[in-house]
Amino acid sequence: MKRTKPAKKVSIGNLTSRVVGVFLIISLLVGGFGYISYKSFESLNNSVRSLASSKETSEQLNELFREMMKAENLIRIYIITEDDSTLAAYEVMEDSIKTGLVELKNEIGNDPVRGKKVETLALLYDQKQASLDEFLELKLKEQSNAYAEKALKELNLDGKNKNQFRQLQSKSLVSKSDSLVAGDISYRLVEREKQTKGIIASLKKLFGSKEVVYDTIPILDPQSDPMVESTGSGYVKRMVDGDSLVNKIEEILTDLRAEEKYFRNLLSLREYRILEQDQNLFFQIQETLNELTTLEKAENLKKQEEAEIVADEATKTLFTIGIIGLLGSGILLTLVFRGVSKSNFYRQKAELERNRAERLAKIKEEFLANMSHEIRTPIHSINGFLGLLQETQLDEEQIKYLSTINGSASFLLRLVNDLLDISKLNAGKVTLHIEGFYPHKMLEEIINSFIPLAEDKGIELIFDYQAADDLALETDVFRFRQIITNLLSNAIKFTEEGYVRLTFAWLDQYEIAKIHITDTGIGMTPDEQRKVFMSFSQADSSITRKYGGTGLGLTIVKNLVELFDGAIDLTSIKGKGSTFTLRIPMHKPEVKPSESYLISDHESNFIGKLAAVVDDDPNNRLLMSKILQSIGFDVKVFENPVYFLESIKNESYYFVFSDIQMPEMDGLTLSEKLRDSYKGSFDKLVAMTAKGESRPDVQENKANFDGILFKPFSRTELINLIYDITEIEPEIKDPIESVNDKVGANESTEIELDISEIKMFAGNDPEMIRNMIEGLYGNMQNDLSNFTSFANNKDLNSLMKLSHRMIPSWSHFSFDTVSKNLRTLEETIESNPEPSDEINEMANELIEEMSVSLALIDKWLRRQSHIA
């Protein structure tokens, strides 16, 4: 997890404002022109639609006129033929005309002139239809009159003669065979056209109408009656005697004929008037249609002229908009080009400033790193010789001087460490390394380390642990310890009487560790509280004079808490004390951290068992062999997996410990070969790697191993893993108290080499401890020489592999800074395997750190030789 400072931004607000302003103006112009164009197109479209509508109206008028002419023809045909199908077709046409009139009226809409004409047309057509309906009604009435029936009723003929008479009536011609018997004389009926004169008779003849009358004549026989004479079509009697039947018929028919004549004259007169009215209405309809057609033509011509005007205006508008758009685009492009040029200038200037700032920051970091190392090296030497002096015979005054020198050296060392920490935090180069721990045990150790200081000042140190004693959590233990240590140190430093309380609570629901550090010290004002987390800041100058310090401790604490994604709050009252509240997210580990146990030097469970250690790092081979031998294993070590594969053909191993990353064959390939070809030649296979569990290849091949050791690991972790895999209960002695001898971890008066882990590896055997340290020291010197060579030659691949291999060796001496920087260097090269200033800087810093650390080991070895 890294934090980086954002690059400094260069303001080019004026340029941006100008470009945005011009853009807005042009956008408004474009929008306005677009609206005008839209309105022009809309007017043009309306004109086109209006023209199309006028054409449709003209077509409707023509169609209406054609339908009226067709209807007129149909009614004439019906009058002549009296055909019912013609009448039905006329009625259909009549409905169509009415529908056409309604549509025409809707099409014309609100036009008053044309609308009035259409209404007149509809009224005339309705009058014409009323007239024709009246005519048809008279026509049907005329056809319904039966004068023959009346005549028969008057004659009162019997059924037989009545039927004969009707048969004669139904015939169009009367021949000699058509006869009627009345008394002793035979008669026959004859049909003849009635001769009439006048206008009505002429109209009837014009439309095919004629009147037929019937008469009776006796049937004459020239042989029996000398008065009968022959004619071309029959016989006639020169003299007809009075005939009662004939006279009667003649009388009745004469009356009926007169009645019929009167009625026919009345009908003919009414028909004439109706037809004359219909003709006049038709002429008016035709005239109205012509007027409407003329109006439509005029309206079409007017709309066409308007459409042409609108089209001309739209064309001019679009042309104008196009010209203005081109000019505006040219202006905008000119401004943008100028803006881009200025922007490039400012960007280049900003880039130069940024590079300058980065160079200055880098120079500052390099200067700080170089100065800190230049200062730390003599401080280590001073502390080393102070340690040697303390072992000599000194008087009381010399001890006092020595204590003052030692305190000053310790202060300088803390100052340098703080400067390095704040520099790395500001540069975002601090990475968190998560591991499991027991907060109760760790916090108790910290409290215990401050008890002597609290007792010297006469204040009470209280530890209030509000969680389960066996609670296990995961975090960066080193940085968490640094936070708590800094806050406790400050609380004790600024408290003259009363107490300092450390309270720990675990909020399981939120997975947050909540820590309160409360003191009854000098307290702070609100203004002092606002400045307390600023670098090189203290409440006032009197605080510095009285209590000392650099003002970096709380700044480091705040930055580290934020690196944990946590929060820190301060409540304080001047003269009454302060409370710092921490809320740091943590997680419970899937597997609880190992406890420390002393295992019997001669563990009977593993005596005679053969174990193999396959690792290209000689330091790790040495340490592994010593630990395994201390619990009874017989051990064989192999620097190359190929050698081990030759050995396993002839021997069986109880445990095989294999590193993952090796030059000729990696541990994953070795595990596959062992599982495939040598299942019966080993019992347990354990992987060793300096990478975290997030490494994909380790996760994918986890099933090939019985367990995984993550470097750096302790003797306890190794032994506990063995017991977990074998499910054997260990022979346990008393728990070992954790040793806290890290450089700078407390305010010890002497800097010592932390060999606590080596002691656990060696089982507290002094001779074995010395041999292991000598072996590690020689290998570490060789590693440093190779590391320097690879760095100078920029052989990054070899440098990355060597860094990976060196991590466990430096971790065994608790050189945490070196181990973490080696891991960071490995990860940096792995992510970007190209030479860079950053890699070169990290390598040089590591060379200095390792040189100082090796000097400390050398001092320890020389001291042991002097004692021996």
Report the pLDDT value the prediction gives residue 582, as an integer from 0 to 100. 95
What value does the mean pLDDT take over residues 214-219?
A: 58
- Max distance between CA atoms of the chain, in angstroms, equals 209
* Average pLDDT score over residue span 797-811: 85
Pick the more confident residue, 804 or 535: 804
| pLDDT tens string 628-660 | 887 888 899 998 898 899 889 888 899 999 988
- CA nearest 56: which of 116, 103, 93? 103
Q: What average pLDDT does range 169-193 have in this prediction? A: 48
pLDDT at 394: 77
Q: What confidence tier does 32 reach under pLDDT thresholds 50, 70, 90?
A: confident
Q: Quote the pLDDT of residue 377.
A: 55
Tell me the three-class secondary structure of 288-328, residue by residue.
HHHHHHHHHHHHHHHHHHHHHHHHHHHHHHHHHHHHHHHHH
Partners of residue 638 on adjacent β-strands:
614
- pLDDT one-digit tens code per residue, 19-31: 577 667 767 776 7
In this prediction, residue 237 has a pLDDT band, given cuts at 50, 70 and 90, of low
**Looking at 548-562, 588-602, 624-638, 762-776, which range is the least confident one?**
588-602
The arithmetic mean of pLDDT across residues 436-463, rounded, is: 89
State the pLDDT at residue 624: 83
Rounded-to-integer distance, Cα 288 and Cα 280, Å = 12
Write out the E strands in 792-843.
none
Asked whether the beta carbons of 756 and 741 are under 8 A apart, the reply is: yes
Q: What integer pLDDT is reported at residue 466 of this predicted model?
A: 94
> 665 versus 15: which is more confidently predicted?
665
Strand 460-466 and strand 499-507: the pairing is parallel
Non-local CB neighbours of 638 within 8 Å, separated by 6+ positions = 612, 613, 614, 615, 644, 647
pLDDT band with cut points at 50, 70 and 90 for residue 232:
low
Structure tokens, 856: 């400390």
How many whole angstroms separate alpha carbon 333 and alpha carbon 701?
Answer: 61
Average model confidence (pLDDT) across the chain: 74
* pLDDT value, residue 733: 43
Q: Could you say which DSSP state residue 701 is in?
A: T
SS3 of residue 458 by DSSP: coil
Mean predicted confidence (pLDDT) in 584-594: 84
Mean pLDDT is highest, among 1-5, 161-165, 610-614, 726-730, for 610-614
Average pLDDT over residues 545-572: 82
Give the Cα separation of 435 and 589 in Å (integer). 8
H or E element, residue 134: helix 112-144
The yes/no answer on whether domain 610-726 falls in CATH 3.40.50.300 is no
What are the φ/ψ torsions at residue 272 (nearest 5 degrees)? Answer: -65, -45
Rg (C-alpha) for the chain, rounded Å, is 64
pLDDT at 495: 92
* Omega cis (within 30) before 712: yes
State the number of CA atoms in the 13 A half-sphere of 59 facing the CB. Answer: 6
pTM: 0.37
Q: Is 204 helix (H, G, I), strand (E, B) or coil?
A: helix
Q: Which two tokens stand for residue 503?
A: 């309270």
Strands 460-466 and 212-218: unpaired
Task: Render pLDDT for 378-418 as a digit per residue (tens, 0 to 9).
Answer: 665 566 566 557 656 778 788 777 777 776 776 676 777 77
**Contact of 817 with 807, CB cutoff 8 Å:** no
Q: Kindly give, in sequence order, each residue whose CB lies less than 8 Å from that of residue 358, ignoring residues fewer than 6 positions away.
A: none
* Phi, psi of 189, rounded to the nearest 5 degrees: -90, 140
Match 């800094």 to its residue by tokens: 486
Average pLDDT over residues 151-155: 57
Split at pLDDT 50, 70, 90, the class of 207 is low
Task: Work out the angle between the directed axes of helices 199-206 and 244-390 (0-180°, nearest 10).
Answer: 60
Output the six-digit token pair for 553: 């401790």
Assign 172 a pLDDT band (cuts: 50, 70, 90): very low
Over residues 87-113, the mean pLDDT reads: 77
The token pair that represents 548 in the structure block = 């000392």
Give the closest residue to 808 by CA, choosing from 610, 677, 618, 557: 618
Cβ–Cβ contacts within 10 Å for residue 327, how many?
10
Angle at 628 between CA 624 and CA 631, to 5 degrees: 150
Contact 654, 611 (CB under 8 A): yes
Sign of the alpha-carbon torsion through 830, 833, 838, 843: positive
> How, if at all, do strands 435-437 and 235-237 pair?
unpaired
Rounded to whole angstroms, the Cα distance separating 460 from 27 reads 74
Of these ranges, 130-139, 175-184, 802-811, the one predicted with the greatest mean pLDDT is 802-811
Residue 506 has a pLDDT of: 95
Q: Is the pLDDT of residue 596 over 50?
A: no
E-only strand ranges, 73-211 = 180-182, 185-193
pLDDT of residue 600: 45
Instruction: Catalogue the long-range contacts made by 381-385 (C-beta closer than 8 Å, 24 or more residues apart).
Output: 381/855, 382/409, 383/409, 383/410, 383/413, 383/750, 383/751, 384/751, 384/856, 384/859
pLDDT at 157 over 70: no
Q: Which two tokens stand for residue 685?
A: 């296979």
What's the gap between Cα 92 and its chain centre?
65
Over 80: is that where the pLDDT of 501 sits?
A: yes
173 pLDDT band, cuts 50/70/90, is very low
Least confident segment among 334-343, 371-380, 395-404, 447-456: 371-380
What pLDDT was estimated at residue 10? Answer: 41
Q: Which two tokens stand for residue 546?
A: 């009285």
Residue 2 has pLDDT above 50, yes or no: no
User: Is the pLDDT reported for residue 798 higher than 80?
Assistant: yes
Quick one: pLDDT at residue 184? 47
**pLDDT greater than 70 at residue 861:** yes
- pLDDT on residue 776: 81
Give the range among 181-190, 296-305, 797-806 with minimum mean pLDDT: 181-190
The reported pLDDT for the residue numbered 856 is 83
Give the pLDDT band of residue 480 (cuts 50, 70, 90): very high
Helix (H) or strand (E) holding 746, with range, is none
Q: How far is CA 425 from CA 74, 428, 479, 493, 531, in A?
A: 108, 5, 12, 25, 19
Work out the pLDDT band at 614, boundaries 50, 70, 90: very high
| Distance between CA atoms of residues 279 and 277, nearest Å | 5
Q: Is 43 exposed, middle or buried (0-12, 13-18, 19+ CB in 10 A)?
A: middle
**SS3 at position 707:** strand
**What is the Cα–Cα distance from 630 to 761, expressed in whole angstroms?**
8
Query: DSSP 3-state helix, strand, coil percentages of the chain (rounded to 5)?
Result: 65, 10, 25
Amino acid at 119: E
Share of the chain above pLDDT 90, in %: 12
> 118: how many CB neighbours lie within 10 A of its CB?
23
Provide the CATH number for the domain formed by 431-585 in this structure.
3.30.565.10
Confidence of residue 735 (pLDDT cuts 50, 70, 90): very low
Distance CA 645, CA 122 (A): 116
Q: What is the pLDDT of residue 8?
A: 41
Strand partners, 181: 186
463 contacts 447 by C-beta, under 8 angstroms: yes
Per DSSP, the three-state class of 174 is coil
Which pLDDT does position 187 carry in this prediction? 55
Domain extents in the chain? 431-585, 610-726, 755-865
Q: Is 381 helix (H, G, I), strand (E, B) or coil?
A: helix
State the average pLDDT over residues 335-354: 78
**Phi, psi (5° rounding) for residue 470?**
-95, 15
- Counting Cβ atoms within 10 Å, is residue 293 exposed (0-12), middle (13-18) or buried (19+)? middle
Q: Lowest-pLDDT range, 287-291, 349-353, 759-763?
A: 759-763
CA 165 from chain centre, in angstroms, equals 104
Higher-confidence position of 11 and 790 = 790
State which CATH number among 1.20.120, 1.10.3120, 1.10.10, 1.10.3470 fits the domain covering 755-865: 1.20.120
- Residue 680, pLDDT above cutoff 80: yes
The values of phi and psi at residue 805, to 5°, are: -75, -25
Mean pLDDT of 69-76: 79
Q: 738: which DSSP letter?
A: P
Q: At what angle do helices 553-563 and 477-493 cross, to 10 degrees?
A: 150
